[in-house]
Amino acid sequence: MSLRLRHLWLALALWGAVHPLFHLLGWLAGNGWSVSGMVAAWMANGATRGLSWDLVISALVLVLWILAEVAVRRNWTALWAIPATCLIGVSCGLPLYLWFRSRPV
C-alpha cells in the first residue's frame, strides 16, 4: 500500500476527530453539558434520529470488524481504533483503523 495513502488515512482520522468535536463542543457550550440534552438533540426529529442510528450501527459494525481482524492479524495496536470510534466517532475510528491496518508487515 502506498505511503501516501497511509498518510491520507492518518490525515482523515485527525480531521474526523477535530471537525466533529469542534461542533460538538460548540453545541455543549451553548446548550449545557447535559448528556440527556445531547441525547434529546440526537432524537429531536426523524432526520437526526436516522443519522444517529446510522452512526451507532456503523460504529458497532466497525468495532466488530476490528475485533475480528485483530484476532486473525494479531495487530494489537489497531485496538486503539475502538476507543477512538466509541469516544469520538466513526469519522475518526475508521480511518485510524485503516492507518493501523495499512502499516508495512
Instruction: Count structural domains, the chain.
Output: 1
Give the separation between CA 88 and CA 86, rounded to whole angstroms.
6
Per-residue confidence (pLDDT) for residue 1, from 0 to 100: 60
**Which ranges of the chain have pLDDT less than 70?**
1, 105
Regarding pTM above 0.85, the answer is yes
Q: Which domain holds residue 8?
A: 3-101
Per-residue confidence (pLDDT) for residue 35, from 0 to 100: 85
- Indicate left, alpha or beta for 45 from its phi (over 0: left) and psi (-120 to 50: alpha): beta
